[in-house]
Amino acid sequence: MSGGPDGSYKIKTNLQVPVQWSVRNNENIKWKKSLPAGGQSGIAVWDDKLFFTINPPLDTPAFSELKSNYNEAKSNYDAIYTEALNGLRKEGKPDFEKVFNLKNTAHNLFEAFLLSNENYQKLSSEKKKTNYNRLLNKSEEGRMFSEANKKLIDYVNSKSDRVLKSYNQFQQAEKALKTRPVGTDIVLYCMDANTGETLWMRTVKGLLPSDYNYAFSDATTPCPMTDGEFVWAINASGGMACFSLKGDLVWERTWMPTVGRPFNKQFDSVLFEDIILNVEPPLESDSTRIKEWNYLHAFNKNTGNHEWTTQAAITHYNTPVIGETSEGKPAILIGRGGPHGVPERPVGLSLISLEQNNAGESLWHWEPEAPNKLSGYGALNTQHWDTEKISWIYKCEENLTVNSNTGELMSQKPLNIVDQYIYDEADKTYHLNEGVVLKNSENEFHCNMAVDDYTFYMVMHRPFIARHNMVTGKNEHLELPHEKNADGSFIWKTPQTNDGLNSKGQLHSNDTRVLGDGFQRSFLGSPVMINNYIYFTNAIGMVYVIDANAERFDESALVSVNDLGEKGKTWTVNTLSFANGHIYHRTLKEIICIGE
């Protein structure tokens, strides 16, 4: 299941653990296996078997072919259109002149609007391209220009069958280029952990259509679960199934997830004793809970039958984590709040009992004082906790520490006053900048791990790992390299890109943020701690190994920087797994066994 055998995302082992590797150079790699489609689940391991999920493979053309067809069709249409436009200008008919002049006037007004827009003018050339299209759709001047330009195109097309035919061919090529797949089902894989050989595949049905490879989650996000006798898979599009380890179907069920918001299903699988925990709306027969909200449900792992539902709600952004109270009693921590109008209230935390006679009951609730637009971002955490405390992050600004025994607030400390270790490329060393004040999105967290008095997180938009001391309030940021050169040297300060393609060269994601630099806005896989090392994976497949016990959070804390594939051609939002002395990881293109 997600988070390993005990769901903590932490592993203690006496086995040798891979710390350095390179997939692109085939260094310390036992095997890798190409996958026919992308997926985002973690990898469950039992003895010599691996379990994970992918989206159903499709036989659509490679993106390069679609792009070539589009470019050819556009070039042909542009040439034919320009020829026809020039002919109409020579004729100079009044009805044409009216449409033509209207378009030119609207274009000039839009260009003047862009020149006067200070925020737009401050952007880089690359960001201007994205914002140009946004302003074209959102601003009044942009919409006027779009409408006037369309009227001119329609006019020119209507005057010639040849132009219209070329335009239709161009439109078809553009539609094929921009169309992205959606699906309801996923595919559960069983693989040989020693060789990467596929042993069997099974379909897990769902109900709600979802985009492939959305940067924040898709139907494949939940990690499969196994107890060595059976394997269970959850489809975030509304499905769950149980199979024997030979692939025989034992039971299956479907439900309809909540709709009306982005498909940000950040909950992950939890197997506890004889129950499977999942985040779903109330049962159809339940009249006591709010239909539009999500709750934590328990299902019997042997039958799929429903056991109980919490009274406390949970947002689908939240990743619950199981643990034990200071009295040694099993419980799971859930959270509420977040962007895009998630409705569950009140914002905050609930600790849910997993004791047999009290299962599903809330031990306590905690509510932050700040409004959801600030405080609700704490629910986007992987909800780590221990027998003493919990970390809850206000967006970019503060860390709140909550008592895990009582649900009472223990402390509230700023996150935006930071000691930063910045790499100087000139003298090739780190320099400490103390007391740096960060503003707005300069300190948004990406993914997190709690270790004793510290909470660690990867910073969004900027190449840093952060360490916050919940007791003293000290904040430290360590700058990370963006990538590695062919000779193994690091690339600093320069954002990278990736192609977003799967192993077939298909571009299946409709979200352009997939093509970002690794620290872009997306939901990354949760970091995993093996002994005293934390493994953070960013979106372009760079794995940063951090020493959680480092006295100073400087270069001594950065143990290694590893890759999961070719530079510019790797993308992942997966959580790694460790078993049998190997790390198992995956990207959009392949699954990998690390450690010879």
Phi/psi of residue 59, nearest 5 degrees: -100, 30
CA–CA distance from 519 to each of 19, 64, 491, 514 (Å)? Answer: 22, 26, 14, 11
| Domains annotated on the chain, with CATH | 10-60+181-594 (2.130.10.10), 63-177 (no CATH)
Q: What is the pLDDT of residue 53?
A: 98
Side-chain-side CA neighbours of residue 94 (13 Å) = 0
- Find the helix or strand (DSSP H, E) in which 580 lies: none
Helix (H) or strand (E) holding 108: helix 94-116
CB atoms within 10 A of CB 289: 16
pLDDT at 127: 77
H or E element: which one contains 267? none
What's this model's pTM, rounded to 2 decimal places?
0.93
pLDDT in single tens digits along all 596 residues of the chain: 788 999 999 999 999 999 999 999 999 999 999 999 999 999 999 999 999 999 999 999 999 999 999 999 999 999 999 999 999 999 999 999 999 999 999 999 999 999 999 999 988 877 788 789 889 999 999 999 999 999 999 999 999 999 999 999 999 999 999 999 999 999 999 999 999 999 999 999 999 999 998 888 899 999 999 999 999 999 999 999 999 999 999 999 999 999 887 777 889 999 999 999 999 999 999 999 999 999 999 999 999 999 999 999 999 999 999 999 999 999 999 999 999 899 999 999 999 999 999 999 999 999 999 999 889 889 999 999 999 999 999 987 899 999 999 999 999 999 999 999 999 999 999 999 999 999 877 888 879 999 999 999 999 889 999 999 999 999 999 999 999 999 999 999 999 989 999 999 999 988 777 787 888 878 889 999 999 999 999 999 999 999 999 999 999 999 999 999 999 999 999 999 999 999 999 999 999 999 98
Q: Decide: helix, strand or coil at residue 164.
A: helix
**DSSP state letters, 372-386:** HHHHGGGGGSB--B-
Burial class of residue 131, CB neighbours in 10 A (0-12, 13-18, 19+) = middle
- Label the pairing between strands 295-300 and 306-313: antiparallel
Owner of token pair 């192993």: 503
Task: Name the DSSP letter for residue 177.
Answer: H
Tell me how crowded residue 65 is: count the other CB atoms within 10 A of its CB: 14
Helix/strand/coil for 169: helix
Report the pLDDT value the prediction gives residue 566, as an integer from 0 to 100.
Answer: 97
Per-residue tokens: 551: 């006295």
- Strand ranges inside 338-451, DSSP E: 348-353, 362-366, 389-393, 398-403, 409-414, 417-424, 429-437, 445-451
